[in-house]
Every structure is written in structure tokens, then in C-alpha cells.
Amino acid sequence: MIEIKNIYKNFGKLEVLNNINLRFQKGECIALIGPNGCGKTTLIKTILGMVIPTKGDILLDQKSILKEFKYRENIGYMPQIGRYPDYMTVGQIIEMIKNIRNSNQVLDEDLIKAFELEKIVDKQMRTLSGGTTQKVSATLAFLFDPEVLILDEPTAGLDPLASEILKEKIIKEKEKGKLILITSHLLSELDDLITQIIYMQDGAVHFHQTIADLLQATNEQKISKAIAKILKNKRNEQNH
Amino acid sequence: MNRIIKIIFLDILKNKIIVAYTLILAVLSWSSFGLEDNSAKGLLTILNIILFTVPLVSILFATIYLYNSSEFIELLLSQPIKRKKIWLSLFLGLSLSMVLAFFVGAGIPLLINAPDSVGLMMLIIGSLITLVFVALAFLSSILTRDKAKGIGIAIMAWLYFALLFDGLVLFLLFQLSDYPIEKAMIIVTGFSPIDLARIQILLHLDVSAMMGYTGAIFKDFFGTSVGLLISFLLLCTWIIVPFLISLVKFRNKDL
Amino acid sequence: MLLFSSFLHAHIIDVGPKKSIKSIKKAIYLAKIGDTIIVHKGTYKEGNIIIDKKVVFIGKDFPILDGQKKYEVLSVKADSVVVDGFKVIRSGHATLEDPCGIKVYNKKNVIIQNNILDDNFFGIYIQNGRNCLIKNNTIIAYGKEEQEIGNGIHCWKSDNLQIIANKISGHRDGIYFEFVTNSVIWRNISSKNIRYGLHFMFSNDDAYITNVFKNNGAGVSVMFTKNVKMFNNYFEENWGDSAYGLFLKEISDSQIIGNKFSRNTSGIHMEGTNRILIEKNVFQANGWAMKIQASCMDNEIVNNNFIANTFDMGTNGSLVLNKFNTNYWDKYEGYDLNKDGVGDVPYHPLSLFAVLVEKNPAAMLLFRSFMITLLDKSEKVLPSITPDNFVDNSPLMHSLPL
């Protein structure tokens, strides 16, 4: 569904993405992990069109997205830190995004109910805590029932209860056959969600495997342990 | 696009700094018109507001607002909207609210106390200056990602146009006083939007003095309808060019 | 007794297209001293009409005397002539002979009133006259350049004239006085003349009162004269390089009181002017309210209002030998702690920028810029370039009711 072809990105002399080639299919839930500064967020942002690649192409349903904007109708994005105009209320923000999208489709208001946003609909954004703001961001990402969901550190800052609600929602959407891309450092959070894992380091894809393959190859039960093992093996190989 | 403009416009109107700016303009204007029985002092106060306060507040507020909205801009970018549309909406929303603040604060007392060509001229020029410095704010905020640096650039730009440029001109005037430089000076003024604005208002405010000496040369140029038109076109250029540069940069910017 | 008897025997001679006498010249030829000639409506093209007898010469319904651009129209060459109610047009246009609409040659007690003079080279010319009255005339010309047109009312080497309630426009100088003494110019309106509204030279002991001088090429010029009284006149909208409301050169012992100077490039420009009292005038919205050149001494400037002028003062030197006292300056920013209506700190009416502009006129371009305002303010606090005795020590807090 999404095809990333030979993507390079330089910020000045700094190479942030170095020949990335990836393919994502419907119904997958893909975790994008890696140390800080490995290029995860930049990769996500190239898909969203916020970062313009130096070289390469990105296709969504076989169509290039470079210099396009309409395709974003099919993408829901939840940023790492959502900042909104200070003096708008939660209700106004939701209303505003609806307005901007200006679509007649049926809205997915599950999260509004689950997070009980009705109660804070009249609160101004600047008065909200980080976690509550994240709830708003999550709600907006899912609101238009998009085919692709891109979630940047979705559970960071959320309380356990909200975190759980969000996870359930992600699983539900995955089962509907949507493509979900998640970045996170907290691997334990992702165990029961993901179907594939991409590990990035220094702007390059280190490995891209299905969870089943990964666990089998490493003979582990937990994703976090499996990854740790792979990384350890790699380091050993390098040392020898 | 209108929806985004409306959102930004309403957001800014609720901003305390804009409310304070409007109030300060209003207090300054009304008090200076009220103190004297002739409107000249009030006009001078508003002239100083246009040449000093309006550029400073416009460029600073717009720059800071742009930096503070970087996440909001990201949010908009993740929506199916063209980049050009986002940037233009931001510009129009900011401009509209700054011009409205100027109009409510200084324009209304101006129209009530000096309902003649001077008042109207000052109102138009003040609005144009607001737009020029909002446009410059867009340029300075796109030049660097660093908020502190961006604000620094904005302040330097203001300082340059409000003060340093005139200092340079004065220096040149006295260095080159043996040459007939009056006509060349007309061209030089085109390089500063504040000077363009000031001279247009001067021709209305100090018409007697401008009729004498070299004033007449300036009057012969700026005072004619061609000169007026050129002045306005130059001011518009000062709005359009910085904004267009910032737009091109924004379209290729990584957020 | 002689006067009385001549009045009794006076005849009236009618002239007109439908009268038995159709020619003015003939009527004058027939008239006896003291007769009245009434000219009826019509156009009279008789070349130069010379009145060489004491007659009362009256026009009914403004008969037109046409000089056809060739002749001086009316020449008065007798004492005590009255010219009343004519429309005098199109005098000759030569430069050597100065042809006029109406000219008085070395006579006295002549009265010229209620006439309309249109498109003449000179309007009314009094040469060596005495006790003459010029009243209620409207004098219009359409000059484009100084050399192509004469003056509206031109008085030369005369004494005891009264110039009252005339309207003059479009001439070189509206009213011109040279070697005229003991005369009064009262309630005239002189506007849109090419050079001066009033031009005044070597004319001592005169007064001009309640006149309006508006929008003349260079305003009013008073030169080389003593004892002039200038009261309650309006000097307005005299704009341009070297245009002044009032230009004073080599004037002494005179008074300028109760005048209003508004919207002139310079309100008053003074050169070589001594012992003048400038009192109770209003200077409003001028480029420079006053320019006092260094050659002026012992002038007193008291109790005037200076309002909304671009510059209150200008000067070309640093020597100040003139006194300023109890004026109202709207630019004054001092305070009055004891509430006696007089500011507690002196006012320096000469701004730094005025000095800069005097040295480098192109600097006008920077006027009212923030930097200039800063410079001016700092100069006010610590005078370094402007002469520090250029000062009003008792500036008023409120404008005078003038």
C-alpha cells in the first residue's frame, strides 16, 4: 500500500535518511523503533509530506505523494507533542479539523466517548495537561476513519488507562484491515499490537521482519528480548 | 482557505498581547487628541506610532506567533491542505488581525479627530506598514528554526528600518553635501518602507515646510499622483517580495 | 466760497450710445471744471482718455473702457478728479512705458473707487500723488510671468494715500509702494499675484491694517523702511522656495502686532531687521514660523502663539541678540509647579534639526524620523549645537486668546 523507494534525506551535511526502501501492506501494524536520532520521525514526516526527501520517491497506492496534498485525506497522524492554538477549546479544535477536512464521511467518534472528551469540550487547549492533549491528538488521528494511521510515540504521556483504551482502538483498526505505523521506544508496550517491526539506526533500516519470524529466529517469547538478542549478536559480529 | 484564516484570525483576536496593543494604541491616540485643542499633536503621536510602534509590534508579534504555531502548522500540514494555502492563510489571518488592531486602536480616533485627507492617508499608510512588517516577520521566521535567532533577526530588521537606515542616510547626506544628491535621495527612500511611509505622511502633515527648499523636490516627486502611485507600489512590493520569498522557502521547508 | 459756487454751477454731461454725446473724449472736451460726466453702459474704444480737468467721472452700470491692448486707458492729469464705476480693460502691454488701466500723474486729492480693472498691464498707478483715495476696486489680471505683467496698485513717490478695500489678483505685485509716506493700506485682499501680495520699499511712516495676503508667489515683502505698522493682517498660504508670509529686510523701529501667519513656508523671514516689536501674532501651521537671520538685533518677540508649525525658528548663525518672552509654544514640554501659567523651565525654540536643515536642506527628507526625534530630544536636554541663548525664559503654559 505504501512503498518507500530509495529515500535519502540530508539536513545540511547531516545524512538523516540513507537509502530507505520499505513496503507496507494493508492490515499490518508496524513498529518503527530505534535509538534517538535514528531517523524514525523524519521517515514518518516524509510520508506525511512535512519533510521533503532529497532523493527518492514515496508511493501510496502506486501514486507518488511528492508535492501532493490530497492523499493526506487517507492518513491519520498523531504527533509526538500536539500543540494547538492556545485559546481554542477542545470542541473548537475538533470542529476546526472537521471543517478543514470538510468531508461528509461518517466520523469515528469512539475515542471521544472512550476518553470522555465531552466533559472537557469547553476547556481551552492551553489549560490541558500533556496527557489530555495527547488524547485530543489521538482522537483527531482516528476521527476520519483513515486507511493509514501514523502514530508518533502514541502512549508517551498517557496514563495507563488511556494507554489501554488507545491500544484497544489500535487493535480494532488493525483488524478492520488498516495500515498502522507506530514509533516508540517502549517495546513492552507494543507486544500485543504489532505484526512487523522495523529497526532503524543511523538513518538506515537495520532489519525489517514480521514478529513471528523475529521470535522464531531468536527463540524468544518477548519482542523486547528478541530485539535485544539480535542487537547483541550484531555487536558481537562487529567486534570479531 | 477562508476557514483557516478565520481560525487564525479569531485565535489572535483572543490573544492578550493583541488586546493590549489595541488598548495602548487607543489610549495613546485618544489622550494625544484630547489634550490639545488642535489635532496636530494627535497626528504627530499617531505618526510616531506608525513609524515606531506599529513596525515593532507587527514584526515581533508575528514572528513569535509563527514560532509558537509551529506545532499547529505541523497539525495543518498533516491534514490534506496545500502548503501554500497554509502559509497564505497564516499571513492573511495575522495581517487582518494586526490591521484590525491598528484600525480600532489608532484608526478610529484618527477618523473622528482628523476626518480629512491626512487622517485617511495615515490610516492607509499605517495599515500598509503593518502588512510590510508582518511580511518581514514571515521572512525572518522562515530563515531560521531557532526561535531566539528568529526573534533576533526580527528585532534587527526593525532596528535597521526604524533607526539605522536613517542614520546612514544622514551620514551620506553630510558626506556628499557638496553634490546635488536630492534626486538620488528620492531613490534611496525606496529602500526603507518606513521612510516611504513617513514622507507620504509628511507631505500632508508638514505641507508648508515641504513646499520650501529641497522639500519642493520631494514634493514634486512624491506629491504628484505618479509619485503617490509609485510610493504605494513600492510599499506593496515591500509586502509582496518578503512574503513570496518566505512562501518559496516554506514550500521547501522540512518541519 | 469758491468751492461752493462752483458746485452750484456744476453741470451734468451724459455720454452713451443713445445719448447725444457718444464720445467720452468729446464730453471731457466740453466739460467745465467741476462738472459731472456720467458715462452710460456701452463699450468705449477711444484709445487713451486723458482727464485734464477737475471733473467727477462716473460710470453707470460699468461702461467698458477698452484699451485694445494698445493704449493706456485712463490718464488723470488734474487734481481732485473722481473716477467711479468703470470697467477698465485691456490696457497696452509694453514694458518701457508702463501703460496702465488708470494712472494719476503728479496730482492730489484724486479719488478712484468702485471700478473693475480687468486684464491691464498695470492696474492703478499713482505717480507722485498726494491725498489720493483708492477704494473698492477690483483688479484682476492674468499674468503668467513676472516680466509680462505690472502691478495691481502701484504707488510711487507719493504721500498721504489711502488704499482701502480693494481686491487684487493675478498681477506681479498686488500692491506696490516705493517712496510712499504717511499712507494707509486697509482691508485689501491681495491674492494669487505672481510675486508679492504687497511690495514695500523705502516707504516710511506707513501702516497696513487688516489686509489679507493669500497665496501669492512670494508673500509680502517689506524692505528698507522705518516706522511701519503692520496690524491685524492675514498672511496665508504663501508657499514655495523663498516664499514668505512676511519678508523683512532692513526694517527698523516698526511694529508687527495682531497678525495671523498661517500655512506659509516661512511665516516671517527677517534680515537686517532692528528694534521691531512682534507681539500678539498667531503663527500657525507654517513650515518655519520665523526665520531670524544673524543680522537681526534688538527685536522683541513677545506674547505670540506658535501653534503646529513644523519649525518654530530657523536661523543661519549662532549669534542671538533678540529677545523672546512669554510666548506660547505648543512644542513646549515643560511644567508649571507654582501654577502661575508660566513654564518653570525655559523653552529653546530652535531645534537641532532646524539647524541641520539650514546647513543641508536635503536633510528635510529625514524629518520626523525616529532618529531625528531622538537627536532633537537629546539636544533639548543638553544643547551643544544650537545657541543656548536662543531661549524663551518664560514660556506660557496655555495659548493666548488671540
For residue B93, how many C-alpha atoms fall within 13 Å in the half-sphere facing its CB? Answer: 24
Interface of C with B in 309-348 (CB under 8 A): 309-311, 330
Nearest to B193 by CA among B139, B144, B114: B139
**Is residue A136 classed exposed, middle or buried when 0-12, 13-18 and 19+ CB atoms within 10 A define those classes?**
buried
Split into its structural domains, chain A has a count of 1
CA B199 to chain centroid, in Å, comes to 14
C242, C261, C366: best to mutate for the B interface, most B CBs within 10 A: C366
Contact C148, C172 (CB under 8 A): no
Q: Is A4 on the interface with B (CB under 8 A)?
A: no
Residue at C96 is within a domain: yes
**Is residue B119 classed exposed, middle or buried when 0-12, 13-18 and 19+ CB atoms within 10 A define those classes?**
buried
Of B170, B199, B211, Cβ closest to residue C240 = B211
C365, C374, C378, C385: best to mutate for the B interface, most B CBs within 10 A: C365
Residue at C350 is within a domain: no
Q: Cβ–Cβ of A69/B82 closer than 8 Å?
A: yes
Of B14, B81, B255, Cβ closest to residue A50 = B255
CA-nearest residue of chain B to C311? B209
Q: To the nearest whole angstrom, how far is the Cα of A83 from the nearest Cα of chain B?
A: 5
Rg (CA), chain A: 18
Compute the distance between CA of residue B245 and CA of residue B66 in angstroms, rounded to an integer. 16
Residue B67 identity: Y
Residue at C383 is within a domain: no
- pLDDT tens readout for residues A190-240: 777 888 888 888 888 888 888 888 888 888 888 878 888 887 887 777 666
Q: Cβ–Cβ of C286/B208 closer than 8 Å?
A: yes
Cβ neighbours of C286 in B, within 8 Å: 208-209
CA-nearest residue of chain B to A82? B71
Domains of chain B: which residue ranges? 2-251
Average pLDDT over residues A179-187: 82
> Which residue range is the domain that position C121 belongs to?
10-217
Q: Is C283 on the interface with B (CB under 8 A)?
A: no
Contact C152, C175 (CB under 8 A): yes
Q: Tell me which residues of chain B have a pLDDT lower than 70.
A: 1, 36-38, 208-217
Q: Cβ–Cβ of A85/B70 closer than 8 Å?
A: no
**Is residue A134 classed exposed, middle or buried when 0-12, 13-18 and 19+ CB atoms within 10 A define those classes?**
buried
CA C15 → CA B35, B68, B128, B139, C76, distances in Å?
67, 95, 71, 86, 18
Of B36, B52, B211, Cβ closest to residue C239 = B211
Residue B173 identity: L
CA-nearest residue of chain C to B178? C360
CATH number at residue A228: 3.40.50.300
Q: Identify residues of B whose CB sits under 8 angstroms from chain A CBs.
A: 3-4, 7-8, 11, 14-15, 68-72, 74-83, 252-255
Nearest to C279 by CA among C256, C308, C248, C307: C256
Q: Cβ–Cβ of B74/A96 closer than 8 Å?
A: no
Of C288, C363, C370, Cβ closest to residue B51 = C370
Q: Is C360 on the interface with B (CB under 8 A)?
A: yes
Cβ neighbours of B4 in A, within 8 Å: 100
- pLDDT tens readout for residues C200-212: 899 999 999 999 9
**Subunits with at least 3 CB pairs below 8 A relative to chain B?**
A, C
Q: To the nearest whole angstrom, how far is the Cα of B54 from the nearest Cα of chain A?
A: 24
Split into its structural domains, chain C has a count of 1
Cβ neighbours of A51 in B, within 8 Å: 254-255
Q: Is A125 on the interface with B (CB under 8 A)?
A: no
Contact C274, C298 (CB under 8 A): yes
Helix (H) or strand (E) holding C234: strand C234-236
Q: Cβ–Cβ of C264/B163 closer than 8 Å?
A: no
CA-nearest residue of chain C to B181? C362
Q: Is A52 on the interface with B (CB under 8 A)?
A: yes
Of A72, A83, A84, Cβ closest to residue B78 = A72
Q: Tell me which residues of chain C have a pLDDT lower than 70.
A: 1-9, 95
Please give the grid coordinates belonging to residue A123: 476547556
> Which residue range is the domain that position A169 belongs to?
2-239
Compute the distance between CA of residue A125 and CA of residue B69 in angstroms, rounded to an integer. 13
Q: Cβ–Cβ of A72/B14 closer than 8 Å?
A: no
Cβ neighbours of B83 in A, within 8 Å: 69
CA-nearest residue of chain A to B8? A85
Residue at C119 is within a domain: yes
- Chains B and A are touching, with contact defined as 3 or more CB–CB pairs separated by less than 8 Å: yes
Is the dihedral angle over the CA atoms A86, A88, A94, A99 positive or is it negative? negative
Q: Cβ–Cβ of B166/C311 closer than 8 Å?
A: no
Of B79, B252, B253, Cβ closest to residue A72 = B79
- Chains C and A are touching, with contact defined as 3 or more CB–CB pairs separated by less than 8 Å: no
Instruction: Report the pLDDT value the prediction gives residue C63, as an integer from 0 to 100.
Output: 93
Interface of C with B in 208-267 (CB under 8 A): 239-243, 263-266
Nearest to C171 by CA among C194, C199, C201: C194
Cβ neighbours of B162 in C, within 8 Å: 370
8-state DSSP, C303: S
Q: Cβ–Cβ of A87/B15 closer than 8 Å?
A: yes
Q: To the nearest whole angstrom, how far is the Cα of A52 from the nearest Cα of chain B?
A: 6
Instruction: Say yes or no: ipTM exceeds 0.90.
Output: no
Neighbours of C254 (CB within 10 A): 24
CATH number at residue C147: 2.160.20.10
Across the B:C interface, residue pairs with CB atoms under 8 Å apart total 117
Q: Cβ–Cβ of A83/B71 closer than 8 Å?
A: yes
Q: Cβ–Cβ of C330/B38 closer than 8 Å?
A: yes
Q: To the nearest whole angstrom, how far is the Cα of A80 from the nearest Cα of chain B?
A: 10
Strands A63-64 and A55-60: antiparallel
Q: Is C385 on the interface with B (CB under 8 A)?
A: no
Of C330, C365, C366, Cβ closest to residue B41 = C330
Q: To the nearest whole angstrom, how far is the Cα of C334 from the nearest Cα of chain B?
A: 15
The three-class DSSP label of residue C25 is: helix
Compute the distance between CA of residue C334 and CA of residue C327 in angstroms, rounded to an integer. 13
Cβ neighbours of B205 in C, within 8 Å: 368
Cβ neighbours of B182 in C, within 8 Å: 361-362
Nearest to C166 by CA among C184, C182, C153: C153
Q: To the nearest whole angstrom, how far is the Cα of C219 from the nearest Cα of chain B?
A: 13
Q: Which residues pair with A148 in a beta bridge?
A: A75, A179
Give pTM, 2 decimals: 0.77
Instruction: Report the pLDDT value the prediction gives residue C112, as an integer from 0 to 100.
Output: 94
